[in-house]
Structure 1
Amino acid sequence: MTLRGRRGVAELLFLQSLLLTIKGELRLTGQPEPVVGLVGQQCVLPCRLQPAGSVADKLVEWTRADMDPTYVLIYRQRRLEPKEVNPSFKERMELFEQGPENGDMSLKLNYPKLSDTGTYTCKLVMDVSSQFSLEVPVVIGAVSEPQITLERSLDKLVFKCEARNWYPKPEMEWRDSKEQIVPHEDISPVQDDEYFSILSRITVEMWASDNYTCTVRQLDIRETRKTNFTVPEIYKKYVSLEIHLTNIVAVSSVVVVLFLVVLVIRAGRNRRRRTDETDGAGMPLRESQQSEITRLQQQVELQESEITRLQQVELQESEITRLQQVELQESEITRLQQQVELQESEITRLQQVELQESEITRLQQVELQESEITRLQQQVELQESEITRLQQVELQESEITRLQQVELQESEITRLQQVELQESEITRLRQQVELQESEITRLRQQVELQESEITRLQQQVELQESEITRLQQVELQESEITRLQQQVELQESEITRLHQQVELQESEITRLHQQVELQESEITRLGQQVELQESEITRLRQQVEPLQHESCSKVSADS
């Protein structure tokens, strides 16, 4: 198959996956692998609505089935509801600020703990009959930086690497400067409060390598930490000097022993010569012995000076050892100071977090107080409006009593006319509702026709895919494949256009539904007003009838 044919097949496969995506319904998506977090570091549990859309006015629930209460977070009508949430998760869980507006219900877990490991469920309730859920497994681990220390054993180096407070139990590995694995000896791990601490050591030749790396990794949480250690040059010089001085001392000791043996042999020979020689030759013999003694004394003095020099070298060696220990102590002090600074910065950060949490709590209390004040103000305003209305009613009653019978009848006629107008308005709104419902029915029919058209086009695409599969067996029919691909692209654009039309019509249907609901509410309100006005008319008629009888009686009396 040629390159063009393979590219055409790949494009067709992409179109097929695109069509499947277009045909898909609403669903929740996350990530294929478990969410991995570290103790003390924020992690995010993904949960998104596909296709994206606002869920700000819906009900979002995060739960964990192995806990009681099971609720981790509840989001309803654009606000969080912390009352039913498990106490261990309060003030540690939150959503992204604009997340629900964009269909993102991902959960931010602050200051995770090892006990937060488990399976969480993201649930979206659109309405009573439409609910979606997604399970999100979470694994929380703990890590730290490994620490390397150096010791010496004769002409070898001993390195120790320690990693504290890991979870789950990690593995350790040593490598030299050539990235070759160095065999190590594991020391029994220690488990303290669910955390693991491991220790290993290696013993290497003095000049085997200048740099060693200790690597600690945990595959379950996909975490790795490395620490490098470079052997100081001054340490190597000191060790070489120490070995050299040791060799010098050993050679000097052998020389001194040999010299003493020679002296003993010579003394024995001289003693024998003195017994064999005559008294006449005594004087030259004494002179030779005296010169020999002088030479031996000089050699002894040279040996003593050499021993003094060696003692000075030993003192220098001890001084170098002391200086090296001072350097190691200074490096340890520097490391401890860095740890203290890190801990102080962490304490400062935690204090800032506590201040922020207290400020958030105070602001929440202020918001509650403001909402309570607003509610009381609304109640006061309602009561004032009710008092005003009652006062107006009293004024109207006094006005009605004061008005003449003609004014009462005119107001009665005016109210009857208003009732008739409102009834005609209700009739007109009902006719509009019927027209809009018929329009909705027509749009739905169009949507169904367009969906059937989409189905037909998809069937055509499938037929064309089978045709392309047949044409792929013959390389000479590539031009036919190109033509079919162009038809597929045209049909894809047609499908996209139809989908856009469907979306526009669905939005139009939604808008018409909203208008219908508003008009129905308006009809209900007008019906209530009509009932109130009818009751008011009945009451006024009851008040007018005695006045009419009284006026009639007065007229008859006057006549």
Structure 2
Amino acid sequence: PSENCYCFSGQSQEISPSQPLIVVAGDDVVLPCQLEPPVDAVQMTIEWGKPDLNPGFVFARHNGQELQTDQNTAYKGRVSLSINKLKHGDVSLKLSKVKVSDSGRYRCYIPQQSKEYFVELLVGASSQPGVNLAGLDEASSGVMLDCKSAGWYPEPEVIWMDSEGNLLSAGPTETLRGPDDLYTVSSRVTVEKRHNNNFTCRVQQRNTNQTRETHIYVPGRRKTFNLINKIPLSCVVAVTFNVIFCLIFVLAVAIFMWKNSELIMYLIYLYIHFMSKSVKLCYFELNAC
């Protein structure tokens, strides 16, 4: 073919690997392509393409020179061949800093041999999930936990487990796909108070063998939520009285400061004494919850 024509014409033999090549986003990867028999390919025409692209050429080499005409701009500066390996028939393509959008089927074509090799690339992306307490489920008296994780590819699944590794029944996973093709998943589960309140949210993608998980400890409901749902009456009275007493104390200081310093000291003593008593009472009431 001419310098500017990369044609996939004529009869060719198709060779495809059985398993896709899996790599994590941001890494470098080598797309394998080996001539058989291993002849010197330095002066051969070598064409790497991706059929779903337009233009579809990822890399092209002709008469010992790399050609950038019609090369897809997404691959400029990220693809290369090894001259030393070309001498031994290894026309594998190195792709640097892979992106999720690089996933797909690649075609290595050698016109002189009428052979084409196909490589399937799967680029995975993942992130650590975040877990937080969402509140109380009044219907079941359980605790609701939320789990969310963004930046995944391909689409992952979310599972919940207790401290013994048992799967928990959760609501349906909400999935959003962004303009960058990355997935955001979120899930909610309601858990009951147990002897060991350790729970795990695991986000996983089986095809790329990516797994991220976050653990959370949920204190007993009585210790965690009674402060919200049931504050002892003695504490309410103590706090209210202290606010009123404080206002009276400030007013007394303003009026009597210049008249009677002993009275001021006595008021301070009464205030400190009452505060210590009320705090102790409130503390015992809370522990009794």
User: How far apart in 2 are the matches of 1:56 and 1:115?
Assistant: 30
Q: 3-state SS of the aligned residue for 1:50?
A: coil
Q: Sort the Cα spacing of 1:311 and 1:116 in 2 relative to 1 into closer, same or farther, 3 A.
A: same
Amino acid at match of 1:90: K
Give the match for residue 197 of structure 1: 184
Give the match for residue 211 of structure 1: 198
Q: Sort the Cα spacing of 1:117 and 1:243 in 2 relative to 1 into closer, same or farther, 3 A.
A: closer
Match of 1:132 among 115, 119, 122: 115
Return the structure number with greater strand share: 2
Return the structure number with greater helix share: 1
Give the match for residue 123 of structure 1: 109
Give the match for residue 245 of structure 2: none
Give the match for residue 146 of structure 1: 129
Larger radius of gyration: 1
Amino acid at match of 1:93: V
* Correspondence 1:229-308 to 2 at 5 A: 229-231=215-217, 235=219, 239-240=222-223, 249=232
* Correspondence 1:20-39 to 2 at 5 A: 31-39=17-25
User: How far apart in 2 are the matches of 1:161 and 1:30?
Assistant: 40
Give the C-alpha shift of residue 111 in structure 1: 2.9
User: How far apart in 2 are the matches of 1:187 and 1:68?
Assistant: 35
Give the C-alpha shift of residue 32 in structure 1: 1.4
Give the match for residue 72 of structure 2: 86
Q: 3-state SS of the aligned residue for 1:185?
A: coil
Q: 3-state SS of the aligned residue for 1:72?
A: strand
% identical equivalent positions: 26
Q: Sort the Cα spacing of 1:314 and 1:55 in 2 relative to 1 into closer, same or farther, 3 A.
A: farther
Q: Does 1:158 align with 2:144?
A: yes
Q: 3-state SS of the aligned residue for 2:166?
A: coil
Deviations 1:128-178 (A, max 9, x none): xx4321122333443222222234538743322111122332211111221
Q: Sort the Cα spacing of 1:173 and 1:80 in 2 relative to 1 into closer, same or farther, 3 A.
A: same
Contact 2:45 2:111 in 1 (8 A): yes
Contact 1:211 1:228 in 2 (8 A): no
CA RMSD of aligned residues (A): 3.7
User: How far apart in 1 are the matches of 2:29 and 2:183?
Assistant: 22
Give the C-alpha shift of residue 187 in structure 1: 5.0
User: How far apart in 1 are the matches of 2:162 and 2:108?
Assistant: 48
Amino acid at match of 1:66: D
Give the match for residue 227 of structure 1: 213
Deviations 1:425-484 (A, max 9, x none): xxxxxxxxxxxxxxxxxxxxxxxxxxxxxxxxxxxxxxxxxxxxxxxxxxxxxxxxxxxx
Bigger relative contact order, structure 1 or 2 (CA pairs below 8 A, ≥6 apart): 2
* 5+ residue gaps, structure 2: 1-12, 235-275
User: How far apart in 1 are the matches of 2:19 and 2:39?
Assistant: 25
Q: Sort the Cα spacing of 1:241 and 1:226 in 2 relative to 1 into closer, same or farther, 3 A.
A: closer
Contact 1:39 1:114 in 2 (8 A): yes
Q: Sort the Cα spacing of 1:148 and 1:308 in 2 relative to 1 into closer, same or farther, 3 A.
A: closer
